[in-house]
Amino acid sequence: MSQWEAILRLPDVFQEHVHALYNQDLLPVEVRQFLAPWIESQDWKLAARDHSLACVLFQNLFEHLDIQYSRFTEAHEVVQAFTIRNFKLKIQHEYQENPQLLAEMIRDLLQKEKQILLESLETQSQSGQQVQLPMETEQQYKVEMRVNEAKEKAASLDQEVKFLEEQQEILNFRYQAYTVQLTAHPTDPRLQKKKLELQTHMNELDRKRRDVLDQVKELLGLCETLLNFLQQELSDWLQRQRLSCIGASTNCCLNKLASWVTRTVEVFFQLRRILHELSELSVQLSYEGDPLKTDPPELQARLLEMLQCLLQRSFVVYKQPIMTSYLCKKALVLKTSSEFSVAARFLVDLPELGNKMSVSYTIDKNPPAIKGYRRFNVLGSQDKTLECTQGEGLVVEYKRLKLTEQKAGGGKGSKGANDGSLSIVEELHIITLKTQFNYKGVKLDIEAATLPFVVISNLSWFVRAWASVLWHNLLGSDPKDVTFFSKPPRAPWSLLANALSWQFSCCTKRGLNADQLEMLKKKLCGSEASDKDVTWSKFSKETMPNVAFSFWEWFDAILTLVKANLEKLWNDGYIMGFVSRSTVNALLKTRMPGTFLLRFSESTREGGITCSWVDYEYDANYSVRSVEPFTKKDLASIPLTEIIRNYQLVADENIPENPLKYLYPDIPKDEAFGQYYEKRSEVTMEYQKYMKRKLIVVSKRNVDDTQSSVASGTPQYISDASPYVQELPVDDQTEYRLNIPDWDDIIDQLPMDNVLIDPDCDPMLPNQRTIPNEMSLESFDSLH
């Protein structure tokens, strides 16, 4: 069954989710319906990374849309034809230059469809309904088939054992009757015939016993294969959880896995009971060479080993340690004396176990022999029990735990990793949760360990600590290895590129495309290798060339800037972002004058964004100009869209003009950003009419080392009544001179930055002619 066919069979409540998914004007549901087989047969994940494949799929999509449009036109289905035509024009306009964005969009839609299908499967399986849905992977299909096969064979084997019991009872009855007759009439000739019949029945019983044991061995072999599949699924889930903790969009739902584990454990206990019953049959009736005397103990030991292995793996930490009192909701970075939570789940969802399995925890059960390794105490409620919860099975959750560092001798806090080979952010810790399984004669101590986490004492370490978590979860082969950073492995760029993209996609709606990742790769690896490895030191510790900060500090600052001030622009694809100056020059040199793009600054520690635009001189030579980067502090005062809207550059004729006209490649500025412009209320309009001023950015022109002009722009209050700003050189500095109508004198000199002029003031009063650089609007009002 195709994915779309499964979507169409969903219950109404999940159909609403699908309607909401296709109600975002991304991909018309009619296009999804008529092109479903072709859409699902293409590798959109690869196309999102491979530009050449994306171009091929883009053209193929055009051909399919043309075919569908012709069919609807011939059938006079006007509405469908109109939808197809509009969608074709839309993607031609939006994705012609970058078809990878279209591939990303279709990839994300298909992934969201799968998530809806999985939610439906879990909901319906919990209510006992039958549901037909496509399996995500061949492996999962095999697991499902094996579990069902094991359940069927166990049920069949139960019937065989009952038949064997009946056969043995009949044989036992006949044997007792024969014994009585033999005692009463030892010379009766008919007893010989009965003896032969008893021997035949005994042979049949022996054959039946051996046949049942063969079926038990066959079922055990099936269970061994099933156990291997489940262990692989559990390992895959743990890896998905590790990647999910660092931003990957992975399915970490445990309900399907819990269903498989629970049914498998039920088969194990059923088989254990069967082997016990077979042993009891041997006690009731045995003979020389009886297989029920020798085989069941060996099979029971083999089965118990498999059962214990599965039970041990079935206790998992499904919510990793995460601080609860801070806005930075990222797991595996904990601050001392700050509350955090952690939760574990037992995947054997048997109601009989609810509130009967107590759980306790300990931290750093086996601390490494590293000099200065810090030790901590965990404060909070200790003993809890696994409780049955709706939709989550048997769960225990600790919500208000705290970490306190153990003190060294003399009552002073230990310096910890600072005295050893590891820094504080490279020191990893683990919390282990323990419980005891006791069910139907099987007792077992089982444990679940968290992923290694970093403990900090100040939030200023959070950024570097998160880099450590990212590196470990991405590259660590052993999830319990707390000495990972004693010799951290190198990261292949292909893996690291995904992780960097996840940092954006997990907190916005858009990851990094191939071009943006290529720019980041050159910063970390250089351009000589196609997939060069990156060292941990180069990623997080070493400063980059010509700046005083590391790659990760710079990258995280930009991510913070986007999340705080630029998320909508980033989601809509209006920020090119990670692009080098040389690439900017190549992109803009063939474009219309005033074409600009938005890119992240490469030289700003706190994260900055700048506008770069193309300008042409009278001699037809072009130059690419840039404005001084705007930081989070700047954008907190005025949105980037308002800066672009009102930006002013002093022209050669001393007339300020806005050089930003077209967003790359050729979108008119107001068409691209008009939806973000601030709308002024009537009260604001009246205020502006009275004050007669607005906040704009005015820049001068400088030439940087790359021979492209850099306009150093800062926010300035300029009077609406001022017709132009004149730029005059004064001792290697710049003096702004404003010509104001009806003023008797020209203001002699104004400060370069943040000039605030009120046209209604008296220019003859010095304290009203110039306003200090840092003076606020309210301060000016008090002066005026």
Cα 770 to its chain centre, rounded Å, is 53
Do the beta carbons of residue 692 and residue 719 sit within 8 Å?
yes
Do the beta carbons of residue 484 and residue 476 sit within 8 Å?
yes
| Owner of token pair 């008893």 | 198
Q: Which 8-state DSSP code applies to residue 541?
A: I
Length of the chain: 784
C-alpha closest to that of 328 among 589, 567, 556, 628: 556
Q: Which 8-state DSSP code applies to residue 509?
A: S
Q: Which 8-state DSSP code applies to residue 432?
A: E
| Residue pLDDT, tens place only, 33-78 | 888 888 887 878 778 877 888 888 888 888 888 888 888 888 788 8
Interaxial angle between packed helices 255-284 and 291-313, expressed in degrees from 0 to 180 and rounded to the nearest 10: 160
Cα 576 to its chain centre, rounded Å, is 22
| Owner of token pair 């999340």 | 563
Do the beta carbons of residue 671 and residue 572 sit within 8 Å?
no
Residue 105 to residue 3: CA distance in whole angstroms: 17
Residue 607 to residue 554: CA distance in whole angstroms: 6
What residues are paired with 697 via a beta bridge? 715
Residue 23, Cβ density class (10 Å: 0-12 exposed, 13-18 middle, ≥19 buried): exposed
Do the domains 138-312 and 315-488 sit in the same CATH topology, yes or no? no
Topology of domain 138-312, per CATH?
Answer: Glutathione S-transferase Yfyf (Class Pi); Chain A, domain 2 (1.20.1050)
Q: What pLDDT does residue 653 have? A: 59
**What Rg, from alpha-carbon coordinates, does the chain have?**
37
Q: Which 8-state DSSP code applies to residue 734?
A: E
For the chain, the domains span 3-126, 138-312, 315-488, 492-561, 579-783
Q: What pLDDT does residue 715 have? A: 37
Do the beta carbons of residue 421 and residue 398 sit within 8 Å?
no
Q: What pLDDT does residue 608 have? A: 92
Residue 444 to residue 266: CA distance in whole angstroms: 16
Q: Which 8-state DSSP code applies to residue 336?
A: T
Residue 345 φ/ψ, nearest 5 degrees:
-140, 140
Query: In 96-189, which residue ranges form alpha helices assigned H by DSSP?
Result: 99-126, 138-184
Residue 65 to residue 352: CA distance in whole angstroms: 57
Token pair, residue 417, equals: 């990793």
| Owner of token pair 């139960």 | 158
Mean pLDDT of the chain: 79
Residue 732, Cβ density class (10 Å: 0-12 exposed, 13-18 middle, ≥19 buried): exposed
Q: What pLDDT does residue 148 have? A: 85
C-alpha closest to that of 623 among 552, 710, 690: 710
Residue 658 to residue 713: CA distance in whole angstroms: 12
Residue 380 to residue 394: CA distance in whole angstroms: 21
Do the beta carbons of residue 2 and residue 116 sit within 8 Å?
no
Residue 195 to residue 201: CA distance in whole angstroms: 10
Q: What pLDDT does residue 328 have? A: 67
Q: What pLDDT does residue 302 have? A: 94
Do the beta carbons of residue 576 and residue 599 sit within 8 Å?
yes
Q: What pLDDT does residue 733 have? A: 33
How many CA atoms does the CB half-sphere of 228 hold within 13 Å? 6
C-alpha closest to that of 712 among 784, 663, 640, 650: 650
C-alpha closest to that of 354 among 380, 385, 383, 400: 385
C-alpha closest to that of 471 among 415, 416, 561, 551: 551
Residue 353 to residue 77: CA distance in whole angstroms: 60
| Confidence (pTM) | 0.69
CATH architecture of the domain with range 315-488: Sandwich (2.60)
Homologous superfamily assigned to 579-783 = SH2 domain (3.30.505.10)
Do the beta carbons of residue 146 and residue 218 sit within 8 Å?
no
In the chain, the amino acid numbered 224 is E
Alpha-carbon distance values, 516 to 504, 520, 522 (Å) = 12, 7, 10
C-alpha closest to that of 408 among 398, 394, 422, 418: 418
How many CA atoms does the CB half-sphere of 184 hold within 13 Å? 7
| Residue pLDDT, tens place only, 572-611 | 999 998 998 888 888 888 888 889 999 999 988 999 999 8
Cα 256 to its chain centre, rounded Å, is 20
Strands (E), 632-779: 648-650, 656-657, 662-663, 667-668, 693-703, 709-719, 725-730, 733-738
Q: Work out whether strand 656-657 and strand 533-534 pair parallel, antiparallel, or are unpaired.
A: unpaired
Q: Report the 3 state secondary structure along 652-691.
A: CCCCEECCCCEECCCEEHHHHHHHHCCCCCHHHHHHHHHH
For the chain, residues with pLDDT lower than 50 are: 128-135, 409-419, 682-687, 689-693, 701-784
Homologous superfamily assigned to 3-126 = STAT transcription factor, N-terminal domain (1.10.532.10)
Pick one of 1.10.238.10, 3.30.565.10, 2.30.30.700, 2.30.30.90 as the CATH number of 492-561: 1.10.238.10
H-run or E-run covering 604: none
Do the beta carbons of residue 466 and residue 334 sit within 8 Å?
no
